[in-house]
Structure 1
Amino acid sequence: MGEAVPPSAVHAEGIVKRFGATVALDRVGITVAAGDSHALVGRNGAGKSTLVSVLTGLQHPDAGQVRFQGEPAPAAGDTAAWQARVACVYQKSMVVPHLTVAENLFLNRFGGGRIRWSALRARARDLLGEYGVDVDPNVRAGDLTVEQRQFVEIARALSFGARFIILDEPTAQLDAAGIDRLFTKLRELQRQGVAFLFISHHLQEVYDLCSTVTVYRDARHVLTAPVAELGKDALVEAMTGEAPGGTAGWHAKAKAATAADEDGAVLRAEGLALADAFEPVDFAVRPGEVLGLAGATASGNTALGETLVGLRRATAGRTLVGGRPVKPGSVPHALGAGIGYVPEDRHRQGLVLNRSVAENATLTVTDQLGPYGTVLPGRTREFAQRMINSLDIKTSGPSQPVSDLSGGNQQKVVIARALAREPRVLVAIRPTAGVDVKSKDALLGVVRGVADRGDAAVIVSDELDDLRVCDRVIALFHGQVIAEFGSGWSDRDLVSAMEGLPDGGHEGTEE
């Protein structure tokens, strides 16, 4: 008789999870074998994050079952039992930076009574040594590198007894050498029987590390296959639903560039760079044009957008509006130069939630709402009402608290604020995040309208629907421009470029 096959580290089947009318997971499943490194990939909204929340006990599925090593998942709320079975190392480190490595390893496990610190540090040193983690247990966690913090989190998870670890974008903040060291450590742990679920936007890493890959699309399971038997074209096709050579159904109409357009660029970046975020980049955005800056997590596209609007100070190069340099790292100067900004996180960066629609919409134009620095309520309401009418914001009136609006209408208020000063260029970072399909169309129509009136816009996003309104798209990967596409790009080609596949991106052709 052959050797018995050990039970799977995790087996989930028939998982359904709804949030109101939204189906986040539609009868999906996944099986990760003991000692395997299994990739889970899919575009935004595919259901990856929701599955992680189910597999870690943060969410209870509406249907389906999860088993760890053949045993049913613990009861909801039994934290200790969940910790003994599964852990997730997130892109954003969960270590407490002001505590030492030893204190982080045994956080919430000190028990009652007096702590013997020498014994605690000795236990931490033994634990780190057991898993080959070369970190001083006496060092503050905040002084560690990103890579070292990840190793500490993995060691902590293993110390609870978990032999299944989810890695959520673990390479997003690592350089090439750090990625190599991380992968070497993961392979060592696999040989000890530890299983990993590897979630990444960088598809080349799937081929470098994993033996099995599962693809989700639109909350459904599309395929599970051995990585060695799945070509890169087939993987991208599974993610996008588009075969090689396919073209999206709608794009912005191609526009022929002229020398006059280039000379009269509204926005120009010349050798613009930010250390540890993106390498020198050059581009010009012409009057009437929408430029897309496409890229997945840690591609550098968000940092580039934030540098354009002054939230980050470039370490090299410069930004020009209408041929005039913009003071680096200065939001007020960028605003005065004619750059409007729609931030990625409307709740944290874009809105004052306990204030009215009028107050939020006019934050950038208070100098226009009354004489000698005063703000007249009547003038504020009138200005806001014009913005409400022009953007079709669904509200009971200018005085309604912005917190009472739907997500799509809140985002329209953010855009209203950005447009209030009639900017020459609008920079929007993931402008449709968290809004419904109808609101997406309306919001993108507003951004497109900025260019159609003769100004310019830049959309920073990894959402394909956001990028379809763009006349050109520059794709970034790990801080480098990897491809540029004209009108008529295919989903497959753009996704390949954003995911860093060597042959994925190429010059788009204009129709």
Structure 2
Amino acid sequence: MTTHNPPHDLRAAGDPGRPVAAAIDVSKSFGATRALIDVGVSVAPGEAHALVGRNGAGKSTLVSLLTGLVKPDRGRILFDGEPAPPVADRAGWQARAACVYQKSTIIPTLSVAENLFLNRQSDGPRRISWKALRTRAAALLAEYDIDVDPAAAAATLAVDQRQVLEIARALSFGARFIILDEPTAQLDGANIAALFGRLRRLQEAGVAFLFISHHLSEVYEVCQTVTVLRDARHILTAPVAGLDKDELIEAMTGEDRSARAEFAVDRYTPPSAGTAPALRISGLSLTGAFDGVGVTVGGGEIVGLAGAGGSGAVTFGETVAGLHRPGAGTVEVAGRPVRTGSVPDALRAGLGFVPEDRHAQGVIPLRPIAENITLTATDRLGRHGFFTGESLRRAGGALMRRLDVKAEGPDQPVSALSGGNQQKVVMGRALASSPKALVLIRPTAGVDVKSKESLLGTVRQAAEDGCGALLVSDELDDLRIAHRVLVMFKGAVVAEFPSGWGDAELIAAIEGLGGPDAGREPDQDPEQGPDQNHDGVDAPGEGAGHE
């Protein structure tokens, strides 16, 4: 598929005057929990329709109904004006609707071709012709302008390639209605733009999208219509054009804009002379990721570190926390040297860590909340490492109240929580050991507006209590709470912005288009520079050669 020649027009498969998919007054309960109450949504052919709401609003349940995973207790699901097939008719559902989830369903150990035609490798009982399978896959990939080797292992694909592969797989069944669940959560700016370009071209061919995102700017960029759910009910459906952003947030939260948190950042006042920084990173290098990077974070200071995919920012944060062993450089927490490449040593030194992927790195899904949220502080629950279940629940409950985790109680499995509450558990675990410094990587990814405000408020409170924080994120809302923001590009810090920066100049620096102090290397000694080196970046190469 090219910009000028979209694939065969899929609109011919249905009536262009009827919604491609619709839920009419659907309700669904799970035990005593009412997950949806008389909710409706209608998606037209070729439309990008946003579905937004706080975690727990009912979005996931509606997706389950629209993809045939569960049956509504009341109401109807229609495709092209016709009733949805029975839940047991999986082939019927696959021909009508598909969901590309935030967590990829591509099987990494299989080839691209095998993933595209999973369980359809051959017609009937005949033996599989792998050559024919790869030929079919190549034709499908070419139709949608996906430059991927059909024989390649899916594990070698980038995140954006896996997403497009899932979309192509759905279209190969004949589905014209595709749900995208947080499709940009793990993409950088260039890949997001490429994905949006593909979506627009597919819309021209009649494909309809239900677009689920917590990034409201993307809703305004991509979608024509938005539906808001709140507390399991339908609140609003309106054209995106002309809908004020504050109105949209008010519909999502049920709160007047004046009641929402504002993160005005005061000027950072460094501790008294001679006080060790909360976090000092000097000359840190990791082959292929970054080279000679240094950052100093004072006690009570929040330093943002921004960068697009491939900038090295996320890998840098992970290396500081001990997930990767650098080739050179040093890390100190409150003046104590940390053995690089060791998560336990970083923890013992007083470093709290919120990883990027809460599913893979953040929580143990089937274990209780209390156990998850206190993992970094079990030595404090009892003498000599021995503690009772009651002390665990008591400590877990206290942290749950501090982070405002919405749950039945500390014994509830983490897997039963919404994404925002799971992220609060991860944040609570980072704070459980009363750290002197925090490394936070995209701490609000995939959470709703209210959870984001709560999480960022927790970071600010930790800073007010004297903890230093290195906040690695490409989310502008995250970075607004920082006292200053450093920008990484191609493995180096290229710019520094004080609080009060403008969106355009920060984005320009993130995309490699420069910014204030771009490429500047401070010429002052870290202990003697203005504000005790709170001008920004340690000189590249400082501390190189030390583990």
Report TM bin, short chain. 0.5 to 0.7
1:506 aligned residue = none
CA-to-aligned-CA distance 1:259-291 (integer Å, 9 cap, x gap): 52895542356798999999999987655x495
- 1:40 and 2:40 equivalent? no
1:67-466 residue pairs with structure 2 within 5 A? 67-109=78-120, 110=122, 111-242=124-255, 246-248=258-260, 257-258=269-270, 260=272, 264-267=276-279, 287=299, 289=300, 306-312=318-324, 319-324=331-336, 326-341=338-353, 345=358, 379-381=384-386, 423-425=435-437
- Confirm or deny: 8 A CA contact 1:320 1:326 kept in the other structure: yes
Q: 1:44 to 1:79 in 2, by over 3 A?
A: same
CA-to-aligned-CA distance 1:152-190 (integer Å, 9 cap, x gap): 222221121111111222233334333333333322222
Residue number among 63, 67, 72 corresponding to 2:74 in the alignment: 63
Letter in 1 for 2:148: V
How many positions carry a matched residue from both structures?
A: 468
Q: Structure 1 residue 115: deviation in Å? A: 1.6
3-state secondary structure, aligned to 1:165? strand
3-state secondary structure, aligned to 1:12? strand
- Confirm or deny: 8 A CA contact 1:293 1:474 kept in the other structure: yes
Identity, % of aligned positions:
50
Q: 1:49 to 1:307 in 2, by over 3 A?
A: farther
CA-to-aligned-CA distance 1:69-90 (integer Å, 9 cap, x gap): 1111121121111101001122
1:28 aligned residue = 39
Q: 1:87 to 1:363 in 2, by over 3 A?
A: closer
3-state secondary structure, aligned to 2:341? coil
Q: 1:293 to 1:162 in 2, by over 3 A?
A: same
Letter in 2 for 1:24: A
- Confirm or deny: 8 A CA contact 1:38 1:212 kept in the other structure: yes
Residue ranges of structure 2 left out of the alignment (5+ in a row): 1-14, 400-408, 508-547
C-alpha separation between the residues in 2 aligned to 1:292 and 1:231?
A: 31
Q: Structure 1 residue 473: deviation in Å? A: 8.1
C-alpha separation between the residues in 2 aligned to 1:410 and 1:378?
A: 29
Q: 1:201 to 1:57 in 2, by over 3 A?
A: same
3-state secondary structure, aligned to 2:140? helix
Letter in 2 for 1:199: I
- Confirm or deny: 8 A CA contact 1:33 1:195 kept in the other structure: yes
CA-to-aligned-CA distance 1:325-350 (integer Å, 9 cap, x gap): 54443202312322245777599755
- Confirm or deny: 8 A CA contact 1:67 1:73 kept in the other structure: yes
C-alpha separation between the residues in 2 aligned to 1:35 and 1:414?
A: 39
Q: Structure 1 residue 197: deviation in Å? A: 1.5
C-alpha separation between the residues in 2 aligned to 1:5 and 1:352?
A: 44
Q: 1:454 to 1:49 in 2, by over 3 A?
A: same
3-state secondary structure, aligned to 2:184? coil
Q: Structure 1 residue 194: deviation in Å? A: 1.3
- Confirm or deny: 8 A CA contact 1:272 1:314 kept in the other structure: yes
TM normalised by structure 1 equals 0.67
3-state secondary structure, aligned to 1:49? helix
C-alpha separation between the residues in 2 aligned to 1:5 and 1:192?
A: 11
C-alpha separation between the residues in 2 aligned to 1:96 and 1:136?
A: 16
- Confirm or deny: 8 A CA contact 1:387 1:416 kept in the other structure: no
Q: Structure 1 residue 217: deviation in Å? A: 3.4
3-state secondary structure, aligned to 1:229? coil
3-state secondary structure, aligned to 1:230? coil
CA-to-aligned-CA distance 1:50-96 (integer Å, 9 cap, x gap): 32222111232333221111111121121111101001122333222
C-alpha separation between the residues in 1 aligned to 2:126 and 2:364?
A: 46
Q: 1:319 to 1:17 in 2, by over 3 A?
A: farther
Q: 1:138 to 1:222 in 2, by over 3 A?
A: same
Q: 1:43 to 1:335 in 2, by over 3 A?
A: same
C-alpha separation between the residues in 1 aligned to 2:286 and 2:254?
A: 35
C-alpha separation between the residues in 1 aligned to 2:114 and 2:326?
A: 37
- Confirm or deny: 8 A CA contact 1:361 1:413 kept in the other structure: no
C-alpha separation between the residues in 2 aligned to 1:278 and 1:25?
A: 47
3-state secondary structure, aligned to 1:228? coil
Q: Structure 1 residue 223: deviation in Å? A: 2.1
Letter in 1 for 2:351: I
2:65 aligned residue = 54
2:28 aligned residue = 17
Q: 1:379 to 1:171 in 2, by over 3 A?
A: closer
Instruction: Give the superposed CA RMSD.
Output: 5.8
C-alpha separation between the residues in 2 aligned to 1:277 and 1:242?
A: 43
Q: Structure 1 residue 128: deviation in Å? A: 3.0
